[in-house]
A = this chain, B = another copy of it.
Amino acid sequence: MMTRVFINFLTERNGVNFSEKLDNIIQKKKSLLCVGLDTVLERIPHEIRRQDNPLFAFNKAIIDATADFTAAYKVNTAFYEAYGLQGWQALKQTFDYLPQNTINIADAKRGDIGNTAKMYARALFDDLRADAITVNPLMGKDSVSPFLENPEKGVFFLCLTSNPGSADLQHFSDGKQELYERIVELVKSWNTKGNCGLVVGATHADELEHIRRAAPDLPFLIPGIGAQGGDLVNSVMNGTNANSRGALFNSSRAVIYASSDADFADAARRQAEATRNKLNEARTKKK
C-alpha cells in the first residue's frame, strides 16, 4: 500500500504516465516495431525443441537477437496457456527475461466484472509485471477500471481488430457511428491518467486514418503487418500521430519464424531490423 502511494507520488511528480513512457522508448530506440512472441512448439527448430524448456529457450534466443531493433514485445498468453502448467511457467520466465527498455505487453484480451478484473490486473501487472495489456471493452467501464488505476501501466483496448470477423459486431452501426467509433469515444473518456490506447488492425488502413483523426493522442497497437498481410506503409502514414510516433506495429510470425533452421535467431534479427527500417522509412513519407 505504501509502495503504491509512493509510486503514485513519484509518477505525479515526474509526470511519467504510460503514454509518455511509450513515447520516450520509441524515441530512444528509434523504432515503432513490436515483436509478437506467439511461440508454438511445432515451429521451434529441432535442436531447441529437444531442450527441457523449449518455449522459453526459443523466446530467449529471439529476444537476444531482436532487442536492438524493437520498442516493444507482445506476448500472447494463449500460446502459453495451451501448454498448461509448463506453458504458464515459460510465460513467466519470458516476462522476467524481457528487457527493461522495451514496452512489454501481455496480449491477453481480458475483460470481466469489477472484482474479477481486479484479479486479472493482479495476474498481468503484478505477477507477470507487464508494462501494458490488451483488454476487451465489451463489458464497459466498471469492468475496465481496475486495469487503469496505475498511470504507469498501459491498457490497449480492442477497437477494430485485424480479422475478417471484426465486421460481425465492430461495424454494428446506429446510423451515426459504428461500434468501434463508440469504443474510441469511450476509451477517450476513460483516459484520465494518460494510460489508455487502442488496438486497430493494419488490415483496415482507411479506418485507421479515421480513428487517428478521432483520437489524435492515444497510443495505437497495430497488429497485422506481418503474416496477416496488412499494408505497412499506409498503416504507418495513417496510424502514427502528428509526430510520426504514438503507435506500435506488431509482427509475430514473420519475425520469429523467419527461418525454421539453426539460423532462426539470425534470421529473426535480420527480419526485425528490416521491419524496423521499413517502418522508419514509412514515417519519413508522412510529411
Contacts and interface: CB of A to CB of B under 8 A. Distances in A.
A51 interface: no
B85 A92 contact: yes
A180 to B, nearest CB: 10
A119 B161 contact: no
Main secondary structure of the interface of A (DSSP, over half): helix
A116 interface: yes
A88 B178 CA distance: 38
A280 interface: no
Interface of A: 38, 40, 76, 78-79, 81-85, 87-89, 92, 109-117, 119-120, 122-123, 127, 136-144, 158, 161-170, 172-175, 179, 182-183, 186
B168 A119 contact: no
A170 B110 contact: no
Listed residue (A122, A143, A168) with the most chain B CB atoms within 10 angstroms of its CB? A168
Given A79-B119, A139-B166, 20 more contacts: A81-B120, A81-B127, A83-B127, A84-B127, A109-B112, A113-B161, A136-B136, A137-B138, A137-B169, A138-B138, A139-B161, A140-B165, A140-B169, A141-B165, A142-B164, A142-B165, A169-B179, A169-B182, A169-B183, A174-B174
Contacts of A40: 119
Given A174-B174, A175-B175, A139 B116 contact: no
Contacts of A116: 38, 76, 78-79
A272 to B, nearest CB: 21
Nearest to A171: B140
Contacts of A170: 138-140
Q: Which 9 A-B residue pairings sit nearest by Cβ, starting from the closest?
A: A140-B165, A140-B168, A81-B123, A78-B119, A82-B119, A142-B165, A82-B122, A84-B127, A113-B163
Contacts of A120: 78, 81-82
A139 B183 CA distance: 13
Contacts of A110: 78, 109
Contacts of A136: 109, 111, 136, 138
14 contacts: A38-B116, A79-B116, A81-B119, A81-B123, A83-B127, A137-B138, A138-B158, A138-B169, A139-B161, A143-B163, A172-B172, A172-B174, A172-B182, A173-B174
A175 B172 contact: no
A82 B165 contact: no
A280 B233 CA distance: 61
